[in-house]
Amino acid sequence: MIVMEIMRRMDISDARTFVVVAEAGSISRAARELHLTQPAVTRRIQRLEQAIGAPLIDRRKRPFALTEVGQAAIERCRRLVCVRDELKALAQGDVLPTRECRIGVAHALTEIALKEPVDELRTAFPAVVLRLSAAWSRDIAERVRSGALDVGVVLLPKSEALPSGVQGVALGTEQLLVVTSTQLQTPAKVSTLKDLVGASWVLNPEGCHARAELQRVFGRAGLPLRVGVETYDYELQASLVARGRGFGLVPSRKLARSPSRRKLRTLSVRGLDFSMTVWLLTADQPVALRPALDQFASSLRKRLSQGGKPS
């Protein structure tokens, strides 16, 4: 009875405004996105708080923060807004989904995921509004779990289980290779971790699963790992390694097309296996988006099977 009374008193536009405010991180940014004044957004949040009977935003904190009730309410408000959008689409006889689709992609996969797969998704479902973002796989998985993203494309080590609270479909594999410069006087046979002691590495910044796995392997062996250069861009990493700045980890598909590939050689080091699985993650997948997400997954799977080459 209490839940039904709250639902009766709630305005769906207030719930949607709360979702936008929570995702935007501030009243002012939410106002710009909703094309409303800041006082109008504040009034909607206050009406929702009155309907629920508790504060949703901690107004004493800077920067913006949700209260404990607000953190529990945000996911339910997202679901409520999604259900409303789906019911409206069904009532209007829409075959194609008409709501936005929020896709997060791991940094290492943006090139392969955000070109042809996105183009094909937009062609097949022109009514879908795409909101694309890139982040580390761990952050994307958390945003999918919380409902901030509809789908995430992430890289996880083959030995690592899916994070709790999300569902996943394996789309393919990504092999990272240990590379060094052909110009360096590297021993002809580098086969163990001890052969790499003291070497400098060119790697992604902290947050990268491959880097974290490399650190774990060296840590278990009681050996130090020295990072000489941090940068996001794999092509820049390959170029730096080719110029003798250290060892690197480069995806095989990127190495095959890299302008630096002739100046690099790969190493087979016992204990360093960087086979990663590409996962498409969802949580409570909106029914109206399933056809679009199925299309996106199929296109991405095809691209991965081709090694990232255009169709």
pLDDT for res 150: 87
> Are 89 and 139 in contact, with CB atoms under 8 Å apart?
no
Q: Which of 144, 86, 134 is nearest to 113 (CA)?
A: 134
Rounded mean pLDDT of 23-47?
Answer: 86
Question: Which domain, by its residues, includes 208?
Answer: 96-311
Rounded mean pLDDT of 46-60?
Answer: 87
Token reading at 125:
């479902």
pLDDT for res 231: 87
pLDDT for res 2: 38
On whether both 160 and 265 belong to a single domain, the answer is yes
Considering the chain, what is the average pLDDT of its residues? 82
On whether both 125 and 250 belong to a single domain, the answer is yes
**Side-chain-facing half-sphere of 23: CA atoms under 13 Å:** 21
The total number of structural domains in the chain stands at: 2
Res 1 pLDDT > 60: no
C-alpha span between 38 and 28 (Å, rounded):
6
- Of 91, 111, 131, which marks where a domain is finished? 91
Q: Which residue blocks in 97-246 are alpha helix, DSSP H?
A: 110-113, 116-124, 137-146, 209-220, 234-242
The DSSP letter of residue 50 is H
On whether both 70 and 107 belong to a single domain, the answer is no
On whether both 227 and 307 belong to a single domain, the answer is yes
> Are 198 and 226 in contact, with CB atoms under 8 Å apart?
yes
Percentage of residues in the chain with pLDDT exceeding 90?
13
DSSP β-ladder status, 167-181 and 274-282: antiparallel
On whether both 78 and 124 belong to a single domain, the answer is no
On whether both 177 and 230 belong to a single domain, the answer is yes
What DSSP letter does each residue of 216-245 carry, written as one string? HHHHHTT---EEEEE-S-HHHHHHHHHTTS
Identity of the amino acid at 265 = R
Query: 43-52, 85-94, 137-146, 276-285 — which is least confidently predicted?
Result: 85-94
On whether both 84 and 100 belong to a single domain, the answer is no
Question: 86 pLDDT band (50/70/90 cuts)?
Answer: low
C-alpha span between 68 and 57 (Å, rounded):
9
**DSSP 3-state of 206:** coil
C-alpha span between 277 and 253 (Å, rounded):
14
- Of 61, 91, 121, which marks where a domain is finished? 91
